[in-house]
Each structure stands twice: as structure tokens, then as C-alpha cells.
């Protein structure tokens, strides 16, 4: 169990560092975003129409008139707006801590799943592949469904998926060293 915890911690640190490289140091994922002519004026216009922090969907699917909602949807624009009216610090320490905790919980969960497979993941390559494929499934499920159901742009979601899959591969390369099947010689109840 110590190996599982240590591997999860090391993997979480590696994911955090990879996230800094991918999202902070590299401009590449942001090439999928559209630019605005006047960010300050756009921000003011958003505040006029979206006075509270939260997520908005336009047109509102809770509109009691289905015909009106359908007409507004067909006419456009259709948008999901996530807004923080108070603003935020881009590298807020609380956000960074929450992000690291999320990564640690995720690596712990996949480690436990690896452990539950028993001896099915006998080789290092099998264990890396298991985590990598889990990441491909998660990225495919979440990122593509957001394109299909919520209309998020495919290029933006693909950059997110590249990050997701690469992060799971990194986690797999690390976790596969720590989360190994129990050997036949191990005593019952003793972690490897």
C-alpha cells in the first residue's frame, strides 16, 4: 500500500508539472481560441447581461415555451458562458492546491483500479497501457461529448484531449513502476 501511495504522489507531482508546461509555458493550446477585438468592452457587456458568477446557457433550456426556445436556438447565437464577475488571479494558490489535490485523487483512484485487476497486469507495459487506455476513454467520453451535446469547439476540445491523454500516459509510466501485481511468494495481506 505504501508503494501505491508513493506512486500516486509522484505521479500527481509529475502531472502538476506537465500541466504547467502545457497550459502555462506553451501557447499552443490557446491557438484554438478565437480572439476578441476589445476585451474590456466585451467584459463590460458581459457584466451588463450576466450579473452573477456562474454558468449560463443561451438560449435557456428552461424556457417554458419550447417553441420560443427552439426558435431562439435556430436563430442563434447559441452559447455557454461561464463567468466570474469578480475576476480572479490566474495563478491563484488556492486553485493550484485544489488542482494538485484533484490530480492526487485521480492518481489514487487509477492506482486502486490497477490494484483491483490482480495479476492481470503482469508486465510494466500492460500497466502503462491500462492507464493510458483509461485516459483515452476518459478524454474521448468527456471531450467529444462536449462537442456533440454542448457545441464546444472541436479544436479546443482536441487540445484538451491531447493534454488529458498525455497526462494519463505520464501517470501510467510512473504508476506502472509502483503498482505491481502481488507475487505468488507474497504473504496474504502484505503489499508489494
pLDDT tens digit at each of 192 positions of the chain: 899 999 999 999 999 999 999 999 999 999 999 998 999 999 999 999 998 999 999 999 998 899 999 999 999 999 999 999 998 888 889 999 999 999 999 999 999 999 999 889 999 999 999 999 999 999 999 999 999 999 999 999 999 999 999 999 999 999 999 999 876 334 444 444
Distance of alpha carbon 160 from the chain centroid: 7
Distance, in Å, from the CA atom of 59 to the CA atom of 12, rounded to the nearest integer, reads 39
Q: What is the pTM of this model?
A: 0.85
Q: Where are the domains of the chain?
A: 2-34+91-178
Residues linked to residue 57 through DSSP beta bridges, in sequence order: 80
Amino acid at each position: 500500500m505504501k508503494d501505491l501511495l508513493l506512486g500516486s504522489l509522484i505521479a500527481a507531482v509529475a502531472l502538476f508539472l506537465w500541466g504547467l508546461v502545457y497550459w502555462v509555458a506553451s501557447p499552443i493550446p490557446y491557438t484554438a481560441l478565437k480572439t476578441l477585438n476589445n476585451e474590456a468592452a466585451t467584459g463590460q457587456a458581459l457584466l451588463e447581461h450576466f450579473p452573477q458568477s456562474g454558468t449560463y446557457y443561451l438560449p435557456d433550456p428552461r424556457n417554458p415555451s419550447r417553441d420560443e426556445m427552439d426558435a431562439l436556438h435556430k436563430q442563434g447565437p447559441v452559447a455557454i458562458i461561464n463567468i466570474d464577475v469578480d475576476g480572479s488571479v490566474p495563478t491563484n494558490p488556492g486553485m493550484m492546491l485544489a488542482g494538485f489535490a484533484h490530480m492526487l485523487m485521480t492518481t489514487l483512484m487509477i492506482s486502486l483500479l490497477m490494484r483491483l485487476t490482480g495479476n492481470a497486469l503482469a508486465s510494466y507495459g500492460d500497466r502503462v497501457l491500462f492507464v493510458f487506455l483509461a485516459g483515452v476513454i476518459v478524454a474521448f467520453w468527456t471531450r467529444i461529448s462536449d462537442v456533440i451535446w454542448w457545441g464546444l469547439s472541436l479544436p479546443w476540445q482536441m487540445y484538451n484531449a491531447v493534454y488529458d491523454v498525455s497526462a494519463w500516459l505520464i501517470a501510467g509510466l510512473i504508476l506502472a513502476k509502483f503498482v505491481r501485481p502481488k507475487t505468488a511468494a507474497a504473504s496474504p495481506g502484505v503489499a508489494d
